[in-house]
Each structure stands twice: as structure tokens, then as C-alpha cells.
Amino acid sequence: MPVEPATAERAEELVHNYEDIANQVSQATQRRGPGTQPRLVVVTKLKPSSDIKALYDHGVRHCGENYPQELEAKAKEASHAPRLGKRSWTLRLTCGPFLWRPIPNLFAIETLTSVKAANHLESTLSSLSPPRSTPLNIFIQINTSGEEQKAGLPALSAASDSDSSSSSSPNEVVDVAVHILTQCPHLRLRGLMTIGSFDSSTSAHPNPDFERLKETRTALLSALRGRDDVKDRVAELEHEAEGGLELSMGMSNDFVEAIEQGSTNVRVGSSIMGARPPRHAT
């Protein structure tokens, strides 16, 4: 079914908001120093496909969804719309457990937290016909604030990956990363993602959640470097353009600070799309 166009007024509003945020992203990147600009993912969850189409027509290629069923429905609509060809369309799931049905043009999943989920994705992707032409990018979600209601694996401390002061299973992140690198050819370990606490994003500077995500990255890379089975892959992760293993951090409230602290991927929803409607049970 074709995607209805947004009204001219709505399209203008979206483009205006997007340009405003994109400018702030550029300015924050310049303040940080030389280097690649972070990817700006527009979080379109609970907003209609007509909004996505208006942004797409403006050149936006990274949209984030949160709910697998909604993502699937929107991907289907996009693939049927004449101007939203399957090939160039990129959707990325920024949150939610993991998809259970294949979406051929999915760019990344940012919420992986277990070997089990990795295996599920790997087997889904390996049975795809036609197969994907590239591996699916994976960000491992880290619960940097330790809040109970937040998903994600515990953060690692930069001091030492064998730090005994941390929780009972301090190497879960390492285990999941090694599993992806050695057992999941259809997945590509791309980075780490955090949401962070509301308090951290409003009161503390620099944001301690973002610092914890950076420390986790450092500790993970150092743990991987020490393992014979993945040593070669670590070199790849470190040599990829601009920092290798990415940091996905920063949302509407705190993306500027996240960029200043080293984010390579910001996920901005309400500042571009406006307030979201309440989520209805279907």
C-alpha cells in the first residue's frame, strides 16, 4: 500500500526541525575537533510513514524504530512506495528486544544483550532468501546507569577487565562480543549503545553515563585484544574509520553533550518529530 504524503505544512515543519538539529550536530562536532560527524538517526517510532517519507524526500536515510511490529509494518510500506525503493531505504531498530521476522533493508539493531538473541538473529539471517548483501550491524546495549527498569548489560570498568569489585558476571559484554565475532558471520559488531538516566542527562557534566559507555568500550577492546581467537578481528574494529567500535549515545535532551563526549551515533526523536502520542495496545 502506498505511503500517503504528509501535508505541505507538516513536511515543512519536519524539514525545519531536522535542519535545526543537524546544524547543532555539526557545531558540536566542530567543537569536539577534527573527525567524522556522528550519524543522526531520526527516531520515528509512533509517528506515521508519511512523516518518514517527508524526511526521506529531504535526504534523510537513517530512521529509528522501537517496536518490532511497527518497524515491520513501516518497512513493508516503504518497500512498496515507488520513491522509497528497497535498495536505498534504511531503517534501524534503536530499541526493542530483537526482530523475529527478517527485514531485508534493516541497517542495524542497537539493543542486543545476549548470546541467545545473537543466535536467533544469526539463524534468521542465514536462512534469508535472497540473502542480505551485507552483515547486519549490531550495537550491544549497556545499562550504564544501573537502573532496574533499563535494559542492557552491566558496564565494564576501564581500570581492568578482571576487576573483582564489579558484579557477579563482569564479562557478559565480552562474552557477547566474542560470540558475535566468532560464531555469527551474518552479524557485524558495530558498537555499544546506552540510553542513560534522566538525572545524568540533566544534572551532571560531563554525563557520567556517557563516560561509562566509553570506559566499557576501552575495557572491551582491551579484553578482546588479550584473546587469541579474536585478536585479528580487534585490529579491524580499531582501524575502521574514526574510532572503530562506535558509541551510540545521545537523544533529544543530551545529544550535544554526547557528541562532545565522543558519540558517533545520536538518536533524536521528539526534538524533530514533536511529542509522541501515547502507545496504544493493539
Ligand X SMILES: *Cc1c(COP(=O)(O)O)cnc(C)c1O
Site residues (vs ligand X, CB under 6 A): 43, 45, 66, 94-95, 195, 251-253, 267-271
The minimum distance between CB 268 and ligand X, in angstroms, equals 5
DSSP-based three-state secondary structure for 118: helix
CA distances from 83 to 5, 73, 212 (A): 11, 17, 41
Closest CA to 233 of 242, 222, 224, 243: 224
Residue 46: strand pairing partners: none
Give me the least distance between CB of 272 and ligand X, in Å please. Answer: 8
Dihedral through CA 235, CA 237, CA 242, CA 248, nearest 10? Answer: -160
Our CB check for ligand X shows the closer of 204 and 221 to be 204
Least separation in angstroms between residue 252's CB and ligand X is: 3
Question: CB-wise, 193 or 223, nearer to ligand X?
Answer: 193
Report the alpha-carbon distance of residue 216 to residue 193 in Å, rounded: 10
Q: Cα(109)–Cα(76) distance, rounded to whole angstroms?
A: 18
Amino acid at 55: L
| Smaller CB separation from ligand X, 81 or 98 | 98
Q: Closest CB to ligand X among 90 and 271? A: 271
- In whole angstroms, the minimum distance from the beta carbon of 35 to ligand X comes to 23
The SS3 of residue 151 is coil
Smallest gap, in angstroms, from Cβ of residue 254 to ligand X? 9
Q: What is the DSSP letter of 194?
A: -
C-alpha distances out from residue 66 to 143, 221, 247, Å: 17, 28, 18
Shortest Å, Cβ 253 to ligand X: 6
Q: Toward ligand X, which CB reaches closer, 222 or 252?
A: 252
Least CB distance from residue 220 to ligand X, whole Å? 20
Nearest-angstrom CA–CA distance, 218 and 224: 10
Instruction: Report whether the peptide linkage leading into residue 130 is cis, meaning its omega lies within 30 degrees of zero.
Output: yes
Q: Which residue is at the shortest CB distance from ligand X?
A: 269
Using the minimum distance from each CB to ligand X, give the nearer residue, 178 or 247: 247
Measured from the CB atom, is 98 or 171 closer to ligand X? 98
